[in-house]
Structure 1
């Protein structure tokens, strides 16, 4: 009985920590304080370095080259969301344009991911669509695939609206992310995805009310599997984006049995479970590593810890360590 109570207490504490971190991540006053305080900024940046390749584009591209040489595919994201001014949106578009241009020089098949709220969604849906089409026009001839990330559920209708209009013009290089946790997602998959679409399936990292979303559970895992199976039946190419090893093993068996594994890849975030990425690659599975860079790393760090609260211990270790770890090596060297 004591063991059961201790386990339940631990799970409850982890959930409370995850919820608190997700709330803190949205506190602009805390973010602004961290930005202003050089000591606090430097300490937390050491924890973020595990998950973010750096603040500059060239750092992300350098990491991408190393991972690609080891056999991985990559997805590159310039971190940012909820941009509040047209000028800031234009700056984000210019940075993404430079990323597409430089990534397209020697890495056909690479992916550039971003939030639509980074390029104008909060200001005007039409502005976000116009920016997306500008980027797609640039990306298509150099073989760069654009992927729209999913954000809080309050934005889902606008995100899907922009996606469905843009993908009609660029069906081969614009993809969309779907969150399995939202009750609406199975219906969205049926209504919004064209045949042959490019889709990333995630469980969902945002704090949403249970009236519209599912908690982490076996039921959510089943929903996830059903979504992957559905999109594959529609001729879609799917990124299985999860670090849940039991769920990945389940997907491996299902996809291989169905003969659909050639249309699927496994997408994992940089800094999370590198040994799992290595094992999948060694088994001959296509693995894509999601790389981020930029100055807006605070929110990203909070989400990485909230997704798996024991990462807080790793963050403390990284902050206190005097060494500069080589995170890329863990993806390349076999255990």
Structure 2
């Protein structure tokens, strides 16, 4: 391993650890000066604090010819009242999409709507959201979290997906268990495949490597063969090129999904070449953890974050 790559991996590990530090998160939230500085960096990747800002960014993404995912950011919510407030925000988001006649995908963590309290609360809130979205062009999509939650997340998903067809699930390629998890999803629902943003023990996961890329591609091919609609969520040139070389985007079963603010020039070029692209637009006040993960998954983003913090100027994501 060359020194540059080793330093990047050490930075990634450090940032993932920082992301889980509740004391640092509290400090950022409670210190107005620090909050304001870091928020300048976050606004490259987050549409804003409030629902109208998220919707405005989503409408612009749709206007430019992309498909849309939108998320009200939050996770690891352990207060029942706060879980209900998060679910209410998501209902309002679904309602706004319905009233505007906008197709899209509402994404969220189950730990934002009750999983930390009980799977039954997460299931109740999830199925209420599914009822709100039923009969529309709005999908619900469950994100994946740390490996310690995977069994509970999959259990709630499978139970709800047996009742409502418009619910999708995310799988993390870096977890060693994921091929078996994919094989267990026998109904032909939509699946998003990501590499995985969480720091996991070596015995449970693969580090970023050519081996992980190959596993990722194999999961995409297997999911397509199983009849799933697949969102290939990546900004990795090697994976994107391999997906195109293997003809995985030539049918109607697969699309590329890219995060708002991450390599918009790449998304623009790929869309202009006729590839189906979905942009994932988050909004909300819980942007600290999200910012840490965006920098950790691609350490050169740290340079841009520093520029954004120093300049204090608005961000123009050119899609």
Q: Does 1:55 align with 2:49?
A: yes
Superposed CA offset, 1:54-83 (max 9, x none): 000100100111111110111000000000
Partner Cα distance (2:259, 2:246) in 1: 23
Match of 1:266 among 253, 256, 272: 256
Q: Does 1:29 align with 2:23?
A: yes
Q: Does 1:282 align with 2:275?
A: no
Q: Aligned with 1:52: secondary structure? A: coil
Q: Aligned with 2:100: secondary structure? A: coil
Partner Cα distance (1:234, 1:123) in 2: 33
TM-align CA RMSD: 1.2
TM (norm. structure 2) is 0.98
Partner Cα distance (2:232, 2:291) in 1: 22
Contact 2:97/2:103, CA 8 A, preserved across alignment: no
Q: Does 1:186 align with 2:176?
A: no
Gap runs ≥5 in structure 2: none
Partner Cα distance (1:94, 1:322) in 2: 33
Partner Cα distance (2:180, 2:107) in 1: 24
Q: Does 1:230 align with 2:222?
A: yes
Contact 1:108/1:142, CA 8 A, preserved across alignment: no
1:297, CA displacement in angstroms? 0.3
Superposed CA offset, 1:132-160 (max 9, x none): 00000001123210000000000000000
1:186, CA displacement in angstroms? 0.4
Q: Which has the higher helix share?
A: 1
Gap runs ≥5 in structure 1: 1-6
Q: Aligned with 1:81: secondary structure? A: coil
Match of 1:249 among 228, 241, 245: 241
Q: Aligned with 1:141: secondary structure? A: coil
Match of 1:141 among 130, 135, 139: 135
1:35, CA displacement in angstroms? 0.8
1:3 is matched with none
Partner Cα distance (1:262, 1:83) in 2: 37
1:128, CA displacement in angstroms? 0.4
Contact 1:105/1:142, CA 8 A, preserved across alignment: no
Partner Cα distance (1:323, 1:213) in 2: 39
Partner Cα distance (1:8, 1:248) in 2: 24
